[in-house]
Structure 1
Amino acid sequence: MTGTILLPVVAAALIDPAGRVLMQQRPVEKAHGGLWEFPGGKIEPDESPEAALVRELREELGISVDVAAPTPVTFASVPADGGRHLLLLLYAVSGWTGEPRAIEASALRWGLPADLASLSMPPADIPLLAALSLSRALPVQNGQ
């Protein structure tokens, strides 16, 4: 046993009808400041991953999501500071109420996954975006 502490985190790929995905920019004063990431956060001990995602989207973006709406897409597993290991669960969300606002982020940006790949991101978000590009979670584009 290595003494690694597992840190489960949820993230949402908010997907609009055009297949664009929402990314948020971390405030510069936080860890990974200035980098772009999927909205989300830590799972509290008494929460399911889906309930945590609904809570985080309300807190970070001011939107409401039904707890049954998130669809699992993929996950990333990366070492983190302090003997922790980050397990980041990505869910696709294509239905919500309200207009996303940058409540806890410096900025928001919508884009197709291929366009968003040029953004600077934390290590855990990079493989999630790549997997999302290959996922059936996105609507079919141009009759493909």
Structure 2
Amino acid sequence: MDAPPDPTIPVVAAVIERRGRFLLGRRPEAKRHGGLWEFPGGKLDPGESWHEAAARELDEELGLTLVRLGSTLFEARDPDSPFVIRFIVAEVVGRPEAREHSSVAWFAPDELRDLCLAPSDAAFVGTLGSVDAPPPGGPPGLADSPG
């Protein structure tokens, strides 16, 4: 007897840090969790690796080029959906543009807790004091801070 298909849909969320600040995008109002802030990313296409999905999503959403996908910091099942979101450190180059988000911005760790975040992103932010987040300043070549 065959096992039932896995009902979960894997999603990558890129944790991009620059000079001690994290890059987040605000979801468009018409989408699920509209108006809430999130770490950029998206669903893996069939047969796609985590790296391939992150590279594609960061280019589509922000115009950024993925240099390296690092450690997984957190994984969460999105409430009331089949999405399982993996928050992964991402090193990128380029200047972020809000191509699919209503806006993008950089936030200090203490500012993240005050944002209206998508549920899984809020769960991840709640762990930031207990995980090894990327070091402030990160390696050279991360996305330039806007403005």
* TM-score, normalised by the number of residues in structure 2: 0.82
Shift of 1:140: 5.4
- 1:121 corresponds to which residue? 117
Shift of 1:29: 1.1
Partner SS, residue 59 of structure 2: helix
C-alpha contact (below 8 Å) 2:13/2:40 kept by paired residues: yes
Distance of aligned partners of 1:43 and 1:50 in 2 relative to their CA distance in 1, 3 Å threshold: same
Moved more, 128-137 or 41-50: 128-137
Stretches of structure 2 that go unaligned for 5 or more consecutive residues are 138-147
Shift of 1:111: 1.0
Shift of 1:79: 3.4
Letter in 2 for 1:75: E
The total of aligned residue pairs comes to: 135
Shift of 1:78: 3.1
- 2:53 corresponds to which residue? 52
- 1:105 corresponds to which residue? 101
1:54-76, CA deviations, whole angstroms, 9 ceiling, x for partnerless residues? 1100110001013x433321111
Pairing partner for 1:8 from 10, 15, 18: 10
1:38-88, CA deviations, whole angstroms, 9 ceiling, x for partnerless residues? 10000011101121011100110001013x43332111123334xxx2210
* TM-score, normalised by the number of residues in structure 1: 0.83
Shift of 1:2: 9.2
How do 1:83-94 residues align onto structure 2 when only pairs under 5 Å count?
A: 85-93=82-90
Partner SS, residue 75 of structure 2: strand
- 2:43 corresponds to which residue? 42
CA distance in 2, matches of 1:140, 1:107: 23
- 1:70 corresponds to which residue? 70
Q: CA RMSD in A?
A: 2.2
Shift of 1:130: 2.1
Letter in 2 for 1:89: R
Moved more, 127-136 or 47-56: 127-136
CA distance in 2, matches of 1:59, 1:133: 30
Query: Which ranges of 4 or more aligned residues in structure 1 deviate by more than 4 Å?
Result: 1-4
C-alpha contact (below 8 Å) 2:69/2:88 kept by paired residues: no
